[in-house]
Amino acid sequence: MLGVFDYACHTQADRMLDRKFYSEVTDADIGEQISKVTGGEEGFYRTEQLGNVDENAANLNRIWDMGQYISSIYSSSCHGGYQKFRKETFQLEEPFRNFLMQSAVHNPVYQRFMGVKYVVSRTEVPGYDAVEQCAGQNEGNARADKKNDSEWKVYENDQVSPIAYATDRVINEEAYRRLEFPCNQLALLKYAVVQETAGAPSSRDDGDFSDDKAGEGVNRIQLDLPETIDSDTDEKFRIDLPDPQQNEEEREGEKVLFLQFQIENLKPSTDVAVWAEGIRNKLTARNHFYYNENTEFTYAVPLQDDQHTIEMTFGKGHYEIRNVRAYTGVLPVREEKGGLYQSEFQADREKTRGNRIEGTIDAERPGYFITTIPYDENFEILADGKRVEAEVVNTAFLGFEIEAGKHEISIVYHAPGVKAGKMMSIAGVLMMLAVIAFDIAGGGCHKNLILKNIIL
């Protein structure tokens, strides 16, 4: 019965896992290459495995090495602040029907913000350079003339943010929330966002802060997208990009197309999907249990220097496209001194494990310690052995004020309920022992039965 059921219901409905696909995404060579780059990296960065939509879905929670940190997650319980940041603040693409599936993304601004320094992929990754590695597990991040024959390659971007750093380039949250798309994304590559605090650096820097200051070099463009799609098949279009402005051509950095539009699903019982240069956004059918509410499709598409068109695929269905907004811009080049990432946190690999992150930082100026670790009230932060107050930075992440100079930093997460759970377990054991002792003292008539039940 199981054989017939699996074939009739799963294989025919294309729900059976393909053997070749499984072998590809679990290729041991991926883990070997990730171990090499994480083993040789002295900083505190993320490493992700990136591919097409199916590959990203398979790798949502996958890590290959304990030194690998990722930004994706698929869990029945989610961090509300991080979820809101991805969906509302940063407006990342949502390629899946299930809103709990928060994937690795192709957005180059987000990759930089989250510190995704290394990406493992079978295809070239825009904005990243291939890393040539020596054979052998302990060769670290070394480059070599010998080519890596594997179809999986490691790509590196040295422009990304560290996972933790100190800076005095800040704006307050109220000023940041006034920014519109795409300036709200680009601003996070130039400034850290902190809450309003008397005497904080934000009170000096945000007086004249605006979209013009945050989105310097951004140009709005006109894209001719179809207004209505009513088709039983996917339809591909080649969309022309207008000629770049003169000032944009002279700017150094990675070029990006920012695109946003609203979807009106005229057949709400079916899904809607639209691809831009292979990046998918999906609106779930209204009756789907995990309806994702993704009615505004947002893309950040890396562009080649001589690229004049983009390929867009409009999935089957009946829907309207409204309020199209498109911009071109150039990502800022990371400054070695005086920029946002003024002082990098150096994690101690031996002590950073489990619920603990430890290391040192030499802050050039008084300001803020910024991380891309989602904020939670159960974090305990010690600077030079003294407890400091944690704050929400960049609207959803963990941070705190820091003085200039070298500091020993310890960040410990205390899971809520752990102490109570341990106490209840100990109390249960003591009660069990008390029952046994009472039974023995009373003649032991039920001793064998109690011990038998305990063993079972």
Domain boundaries, the chain: 2-70+116-159, 418-455
pLDDT, position 140: 45
Enter the tokens of residue 421.
Answer: 């759970």
Give pLDDT, residue 207: 47
Please state, in angstroms and rounded to a whole number, the distance separating the CA atoms of residues 241 and 259: 12
Using a pLDDT cut of 70, give the percent of the chain over it.
86
Task: Locate the DSSP E strands across 364-396.
Answer: 367-374, 379-383, 386-388, 391-393
Q: Are 151 and 145 in contact (CB under 8 A)?
A: no
Predicted pLDDT at 217: 78
Structure tokens at 254: 């990675």
Whole-number pLDDT of residue 143:
41
Beta bridge partners of 235: 314
Q: What is the radius of gyration, based on Cα positions, of the chain?
A: 26
Tokens 């990759």 -> residue: 111
Q: What is the dihedral of CA 447, 450, 454, 456, to 10 degrees?
A: 110
Which structure tokens are listed for 75?
């869990």
177 neighbors 90 (Cβ within 8 angstroms)? no
Rounded CA-CA distance 26/320 in Å is 39
CA-to-CA dists, residue 189 to 79, 106, 134, 330, 334, angstroms: 23, 16, 33, 11, 9
pLDDT of residue 237: 94
What pLDDT does residue 280 have?
A: 95
pTM, to two decimals: 0.85
Question: Do 375 and 390 touch, CB atoms closer than 8 A?
Answer: yes
pLDDT mean by block of 10 residues, the chain; 456 residues:
76 73 90 91 93 89 92 86 91 89 92 96 92 52 47 92 95 92 94 73 49 74 94 94 62 88 95 95 91 94 91 96 95 85 94 94 95 95 96 96 96 91 93 86 60 58
Is the backbone peptide bond immediately before 242 cis, with ω within 30 degrees of 0?
no
Strands 356-363 and 228-231, by their bridges, are unpaired
The encoded tokens of residue 50 equal 């990136």
Whole-angstrom Cα distance, residue 452 to residue 117?
56
CB 408 within 8 A of CB 383: yes
Instruction: Please name the residues in contact with 374: beta carbons below 8 A apart, sequence gap of 6 or more.
Output: 79, 81, 82, 85, 396, 397, 398
AA letter at 152: W
Amino acid in position 12: Q
pLDDT the model gives residue 215: 66
Q: Measure the CA angle with vertex 51, ends 18 and 96; round to 5°.
A: 75
Q: Is 25 exposed, middle or buried (0-12, 13-18, 19+ CB in 10 A)?
A: middle
State the pLDDT at residue 250. 55
Contacts of 166 (CB under 8 A, 6+ apart): 342, 343, 345, 361, 363, 364, 365, 367, 368, 369, 370, 402
